[in-house]
Structure 1
């Protein structure tokens, strides 16, 4: 019985080796044929081109919330909940839809006392002492009426918000702007391909492949309103939306022929 088992194993080895060789040859064939193929005597040209389009933003995203402190975590949270309820009510009253208000941060953290300074100027070495707690509740808000943005911010501060960060301006539906950028990028790529072809005494025969690096809109630097006080609110805060630039980069492969 041992002899037959050994013979079976030895007979199987060539089959395994052949199968492995077949897989290797198949993988090699796929690797060779994976890239663009040009006809004999022709040339492969790879072009990268960028297209841009500009739009006036129609959406402002900002964060608003309340930070409170108390001797206990419960005390800090209770006051925070009362003030945050007023802030959310003010948002809705200002015309912000519920779907455009989303909690982005809810946290409670201890507040530590400062170490005692000794006569020699150094600080007393001791374990940190908790002297209270700080509660923070923030919501992310999408403002669709940009002409009302400054007024909404002032309303929030009057309602008790002491943390307001933003805005980041966006385009609600960027597809149209991105398509314009794509068309411009493709026109630039073809013009550049024709230029290279003429310079080399060749002509563009066909497009072999097209890939896109994706659209991008540069982020807007945030306008910061931190720990604002009611007394500061005298008139609507001026806000300039400016213009957003959408950018798309395409990579195009062309076949050139004499």
Structure 2
């Protein structure tokens, strides 16, 4: 014969109160039993519903966090400006960027096995279509700042944020680098990006020992001091990335400041 379920202290208290109340009212014993069962059933249903809501909420939060982590490269963070952070956020939303600070971006890169480096890059002319057009770039004078070492004369791939019929809606402005080829990059292995080519480079130009951040790459540098940059930059031919990034501005950060952030 199955054992009756154990009552919690709260249920015992409710039982005593209910029995006392029914006794005072001289209620029919059958009605007392029915009322007790109804009380227990209601309480258990409330507890089950609350557990479902809590577990569902935690699961939903976990999904949101996981999605944010998985999309840190595919859905780039929004650009920023130190003068008008509110306006920058509004403009960035039009560029399909989400907010993820440079400090967070570098931390996730380290945890994900990506390399952070500075180098001089030049396009090889080879292109692969994999959701968007990826252009091969050869990297000279590589200096790996963190993560697995990338050797000089290695090749990587930069995304164009454009498909077969032009710019991809919701993508960032594309890729930019210095006119002399200098760049700062996060090199993501293909096994992490899920692309047919790799490593995939998320790059920003380096000009006079300053890293130029913008919506080209969707960089968010709200946690660093910046100054405006107005000079020329290199881009994938025909990409129009410079003009697409210009409305939200170009923001120069000392390379040493970025290196110090990596060292912490």
What TM-score do you get using the length of structure 2 for normalisation? 0.23
The structure with higher relative contact order (CA 8 Å, sep 6+) is 1
Larger Rg: 1
What TM-score do you get using the length of structure 1 for normalisation? 0.23
